[in-house]
Amino acid sequence: MYLATGFADILRWFGGNRFAQTGMDLMEGRTDWSTAVGEFAQGYANDLANQVASVGPAQKTIYTVVSGKNPFPDVANQRNIPRYAMAQTILGQMTDQFTADMIMRATNPDYYSPRSSWDWASQLVLQVRRRDPEQWAYYYIRDKATQWKQAKTGISREQGGYDSPDAEALRNFRRSIYAGDVDAAKRLYLRLLAYGYTAQRFEQGIKSSEPLAELSAKDGSQKAFIDGLSPYGRRMLDKALAYENRLSSLKVDARRLFPMEIKGIPTATGKVIRMYQDSPRDDLLGQGMRK
């Protein structure tokens, strides 16, 4: 049980996480020598830098708070941290991911854990670590698109749907539907109603969560970004799109679950929203998920 992860730890010290990953891919027959060598050579300098630049949790936490970026697992390609995920990131750095997950479950009504009890038991007891490669690629591409836009225009990510306080509830609502977790989906549906979601706002939130939502297709930004990706980046984009398609595969009828916005009459829209908040259609949601 411990051989695979123990051997990966040894490989990591010879050239970082990429060497460990490609080494294990070779052992398990998921890649060939030429591909493995090419991927390792592409990222050797960064992986070695990650080993050398390792610091304690206090220094890492200070850097994360100031920069808004997570230096793990790649200091040369750091992921932006949405505001709603900052607390969990800091908790994970100061304690461990399991403790952070348990605290977030107990304290944050918008939170939905991506890991089941079996996942945690596998990691903590059996030392088997699982990572969803498509989900990882999704956040990798989102951050790449943001960095590309900032380099081209000098404009950083707008404080919009992705970083808004309700973005966590929307993301986890979709996750719970995909996981078939009816109770969690109902809880998060009520949270979205509490945030004042309408059907139009829900649909716009889904659109803004697409991997390349940061870039406009009309002005050619999306095409220019994609054309500039390396072969590795192209593979990550394919995985990111696959992850978004997975989340969208089980659609909910937003126009039956959420009130319709009445354009030009905000007071009327507010009344309709309050009606849904007083009489939510969570039973309708549960029926749809059980079909």
Q: Tens-of-pLDDT digits for all 291 residues of the chain?
A: 445 556 656 655 655 555 666 666 777 776 676 666 666 666 566 666 666 656 667 777 787 777 777 776 666 666 777 777 788 888 887 877 778 888 888 888 888 887 766 566 565 555 555 556 787 788 889 888 988 888 887 765 554 445 677 888 988 898 888 778 889 999 999 999 999 999 998 888 888 888 898 888 888 999 999 999 988 889 889 999 988 887 776 566 788 889 988 887 878 888 888 998 898 988 888 776 766
- CA 103 from centroid of its chain's CA atoms: 19
Segments making up each domain of the chain, as ranges:
1-53, 136-290
Reported pTM: 0.64
Q: Rounded distance, CA 290 to CA 182, Å?
A: 8
Q: Rounded distance, CA 155 to CA 173, Å?
A: 30
| pLDDT computed for residue 125 by the predictor | 55
| pLDDT computed for residue 101 by the predictor | 82
Q: Which residues contact 161 (CB under 8 A, 6 or more apart)?
A: 167, 170, 204, 205, 208, 209
- Kindly list the distances between the CA atom of residue 97 and the CA atoms of 63, 123, 270, in Å, as whole numbers in the listed order: 18, 11, 40
Q: Rounded distance, CA 205 to CA 246, Å?
A: 16
| pLDDT computed for residue 55 by the predictor | 60
| pLDDT computed for residue 140 by the predictor | 85
Instruction: Give the three-class secondary structure for 282.
Output: helix
Phi-psi region of 29 (alpha: psi -120 to 50; beta: other; left: phi over 0): left
Q: Rounded distance, CA 70 to CA 79, Å?
A: 5
